[in-house]
Structure 1
Amino acid sequence: MASERSSEKVSEWDAHTAIDEIGDGLFGAELDPGWVVGGGVNGGYVLGVAGRAIAAAVPTKPHPLAVSAHYLSASRPGPARVATRVLREGGTVATVAADVSQEGTTRISVLATYGDLAAMPSDVETTAVEPTLPPLSECVAGSLAPEDFRRIAPVMERFDMRFDPACIGWATGEPSGNGHIQAWMRMADGHELDPVGLLMACDALPPVTFDLGRPGWAPTLELTVHVRAVPAPGWLRLSHRTRNVAGGMFEEDCEVWDSAGRLVAQSRQLAMQPRA
């Protein structure tokens, strides 16, 4: 297979998650410094890189359905390798294991079920309550974040984020204490996300502990994502909540809704309490 880097015109997301097939289920990648946040590279982005390699390993089943990743060490910008192993491939779904490593150190270990969402019913039935956000013009742009914050979190430059004003008090030292952050989101270059991109979207917002008055980098321990459908073009709505902070850890539940009002992805993440 030819290198994905050979494309003449690609989106920023496609360029930053590009992979080269080495052989025997092994792929090369380059983790871009633009995805750094706090003490490492954003975990959702690294999962997206792994997700792209998994899709290449089972090309007739290109979409993640259920993905669980354990984060063993912080990823750094630079070369990486993704080793994939197809555990089982049936007519509808495939189960694949993958490890992302750098310099011989495993960064994340992934177990995933993949299929073809385009061949499945596109309707999404749910009892979940669709998030209500003010119009884009009334929301707070992520580009207005203080310069020192954007300097330690260049990942924010990858998105066009519009935060619900009711959930942005933490930015002015007045967190609500509800453990809830929600926002409109799209890629900064206007690129539409595919199902692999939803793996990243589930980790795109600042840690929900910001709304509890606990800012700082929150290293991910484990992230599970369920993808329900191919997202419709347009803005996504992201909603993050937490209900428990205990034992030096917290859980973060995410919902991703597309422009058609469908719940296209949901996730649960276990992370360490923020580090300053």
Structure 2
Amino acid sequence: MASEWDTHTALTAAGDGLFGAEIDPGWVVGGGVNGGYLLGVVGTAIAEAVPAKPHPLSVSAYYLSAARPGGAQVSTRVLREGGAVATVSAELGQEGVTRISALATYGDLRALPDDVATTAEPPALPPVEECVPGSLAPEETRRVAPMMERFDLRFDPDCVGWATGAPSGRGHIQAWLRMVDGHDIDPVGLLMVCDALPPVTFDLGRPGWAPTLELTVHVRAVPAPGWLQVSHRTRNVAGGMFEEDCEVWDSAGRLVAQRRQLAMQPRG
């Protein structure tokens, strides 16, 4: 049986690197469709374009216009395929308007050397059962952000003051995450996970939709089954924009994805 994620990112091949897609309304959040989900749709098309190299290693995307639920097209162009990696450009469009333009390097994460050496440390999250379920969000919040229904989110109690009108001001949100249907996240799904939490500006007392300008994800490993730990931080809000850094750790304690994005400050 297909998972919800597989269904919502399903494509129809149209030949010559072209794919049809249906942007599902279940991924709407605030003023538009979640950028991570859209990147997952693009990432799925790229994987179809280079089937011998099914996993994203590095993906950079520019968000040119706001997508909406409904039909879409993804065009891919293989720029180079040789050796261990392939480089592919892709665009997602609707009604002749480009929504996302991306450049990606794909490979096979299972074939990489097992030589992990890192000074990074997993988020200091309390046990899942001691964290705050996203299902406790007010009905109004869940109505304008149906994307929340896609996940089982458990927020760090120390990072959830923004939900009760008492943001910490540190610019930090972290949580446990898994898909609500129990489906384990694959490497393409990590493109979505890296943009799954509320904008970190919520913790600065600046709630609202924060449109992404540019987003880059590095996928480092195939995640182990089970809960993921996701941490978002920002250090600089200036010029009407902010950067947001994300780390995703799997149940085996490995750093499986890293992301940085530049976004506009929330419009309220």
Q: TM-score band, normalised by the shorter chain?
A: over 0.9
3-state SS in 2 of match to 1:250: strand
- Deviation by residue 1:89-140 (Cα, 9 ceiling, x = unmatched): 0120000000000000000000000000011134532111211111111100
User: Is the 8 Å Cα contact of residues 164 and 183 (structure 1) preserved in structure 2?
Assistant: yes
Q: Give the corresponding residue for 1:228.
A: 220
Q: Aligned in 2, Cα 1:158/1:242: closer, same or farther, shift over 3 Å?
A: same
Residue type matched to 1:24 in 2?
A: D
| TM-score, normalised by the number of residues in structure 1 | 0.96
| TM-score, normalised by the number of residues in structure 2 | 0.99
| Structure 2 residue 115 is the aligned partner of structure 1 residue 112 | no
Alignment RMSD (CA, Å): 0.7
| Structure 2 residue 114 is the aligned partner of structure 1 residue 125 | no
| Structure 2 residue 265 is the aligned partner of structure 1 residue 251 | no
Residue type matched to 1:175 in 2?
A: P
Within a 5 Å distance, the mapping from 1:154-233 to structure 2 comes to 154-233=146-225
Task: Measure the CA separation in 2 of the matches of 1:197 and 1:124.
Answer: 22
3-state SS in 1 of match to 2:75: strand
Q: Give the corresponding residue for 1:6.
A: none
Residue type matched to 1:210 in 2?
A: F
Task: Measure the CA separation in 2 of the matches of 1:40 and 1:170.
Answer: 21
Within a 5 Å distance, the mapping from 1:1-276 to structure 2 comes to 9-276=1-268
User: Is the 8 Å Cα contact of residues 124 and 228 (structure 1) preserved in structure 2?
Assistant: no
Deviation at 1:257, TM superposition (A): 0.2
Deviating more after overlay: 63-72 vs 146-155: 146-155
Residue type matched to 1:216 in 2?
A: G
- Deviation by residue 1:132-182 (Cα, 9 ceiling, x = unmatched): 111111100000001111111110000000000000000000000000000
User: Is the 8 Å Cα contact of residues 218 and 271 (structure 1) preserved in structure 2?
Assistant: yes
3-state SS in 1 of match to 2:44: helix
Task: Measure the CA separation in 1 of the matches of 2:254 and 2:167.
Answer: 29
Equivalent residues, number:
268
Task: Measure the CA separation in 1 of the matches of 2:229 and 2:47.
Answer: 25
3-state SS in 1 of match to 2:188: helix
Task: Measure the CA separation in 1 of the matches of 2:204 and 2:218.
Answer: 26
3-state SS in 2 of match to 1:155: helix
Deviation at 1:259, TM superposition (A): 0.3
3-state SS in 1 of match to 2:196: coil
Residue type matched to 1:165 in 2?
A: P
3-state SS in 2 of match to 1:271: strand
Which stretches of structure 1, 4 residues or more, deviate above 6 A after TM superposition? none
Deviation at 1:275, TM superposition (A): 1.5
